Amino acid sequence: MRSGPPRAGNDLSAGGYPGEPWGYRQRRQSGHNRFMNTSIRRVSVLAVVLVAAWGLTGCQLMYSQESATALIPPSKPEVYAPAATHQFHFDPKLDDVVGVLQITHVQGEDTLSDIARRFNLGYEEIVRANPGVDPWLPGEGRAIVLPTQFVLPKAPREGVVINLAQLRAYYYPRRRKDEVLQTVITHPIGIGKVGWSTPLGTTKVTLKQRNPIWIPPASVRKEHAKAGDPLPARVLPGPDNPLGAHKLTLGWPSYLMHGTNKPYGVGMRSSHGCIRFYPEDIAQLFEAIPVGTKVTVVNQPFVFGWHGDALYAQAFPILEDDGRKHPNEASVLMNAAITDGMWKKIKEYGAVVNLARVDEVVEQARGIALPVSRADLAIDAFLADARQVENRLPEGANWDGRDELLVTAEEFEAALSGTPLPKQPPAAESSAGRAANSLPAGGSH
């Protein structure tokens, strides 16, 4: 990991000592005894004066020594290799939380979107975990919280589980009878924007297809035409295809799980209801998920789970179009969200839930999993103790880091707001944008 001079906004100590090194100067003395005797007498008098001064101002001198000691900068925390962020093994009887909270530091011209993709996070996930940080100019050396610890949603741990509020998907591969530990693979997702919500409920994967053709539904074509971006009847595979290179059709008509040609839109509400993945993540899931796999979609802005000897809480902003009335008191919220098994563990461990801490987690909604059954542990203290890691791809990451995130501010804002951009006149029409006469493979995207 590169290091450099401290920058403005860096909330870690920069190190170094105040002042300049002391220099020494030697004097040549003459060989005359009278001058030597005079020097000796002067040194003797100076010694007496210093002894007297010590006796009179000993406290001040001692204070100066203590102050100098206090100026020694604290040792820098050890920096580790980044921990895995997408695949975990856990005991379903003991754990409801996977992963570990990490902190890294900005390198060069990194944006928060760059760091998010590197650590398998979505845009909203990393932004809400780092309030006050400029997503485009975070500042080299700036400490960035990586919310790579996840409380599993309250849903059957089988097939694919999607938590819309979290903007994240979980895939539980089928476990053999002799396996004690369960595997979960998790990735950030993009979901339906306001007015084009991703539906809740249970369905299944009905079809898988590589390099799909996109057939825009009439409603999507109408929206784009109104915005000055008319769409063709069919879009061939290629860089202009919003489905990317992999598509999993769901049992719900017109709803898909697929890749994207705009990776910067992952982790946002920017689709017409479909579930978008980073290209590298959907490629892995495409191979792993068989046709017929159950898909459960939930909307849980507040999740609780047991980990080690503590109860953890994780909160996300309530979606704009979530019309439910959510509890605003910690005790009521916990009664609604915590399972009987969790209450049993709380009693077994004699744990006491800090309701004020639960309120704090819910109010901030930073998406950071925090133990709330440790009365003396605040969010800031928990972050200060987080694992410091190098700003590089974790071992086993799906992304190779080569596909740079190139996007204009206008394109990004359009994705963030879910608004189509007016079509720009192309230099030459791409083959991907021409109408095709191949077999259809529709979806809202």
Catalytic residues: 258, 274
- Cα 285–287–291 angle (5° rounding)? 90
Token pair, residue 286, equals: 């495409």
Query: CA–CA separation, 54 vs 292, rounded Å?
Result: 86
Q: How far is CA 377 from CA 346, 356, 368, 372, 373, in A?
A: 17, 11, 14, 8, 9
380, 367 Cβ separation under 8 angstroms: no
* Phi-psi category of residue 253: left, alpha or beta, with phi > 0 → left and psi -120 to 50 → alpha: beta
Strands (DSSP E) contained in 59-118 are 87-90, 97-99, 102-105
**Residue 338, both tokens:** 């915590």
Q: What is the Cα–Cα distance from 356 to 378, expressed in whole angstroms?
A: 10
State the Cα–Cα distance between residues 269 and 6, nearest whole angstrom: 36
Q: Cβ distance 85 to 120 under 8 Å?
A: yes
- In terms of Cα–Cα distance, which of 112, 139, 114 is closest to 127? 112
Helix, strand, coil share of the chain (percent; to 5): 25, 20, 55
User: What is the rounded CA–CA span in Å between residue 158 and residue 294?
Assistant: 7
CA-closest candidate to residue 301, choices 354, 355, 363: 363
Residue 308 burial (10 A CB sphere; 0-12, 13-18, 19+): exposed
> 392 near 1, Cβ under 8 Å?
yes
Beta 269-271 vs 87-90: how paired, if at all? Answer: unpaired
Count how many residues are written for the chain.
Answer: 445
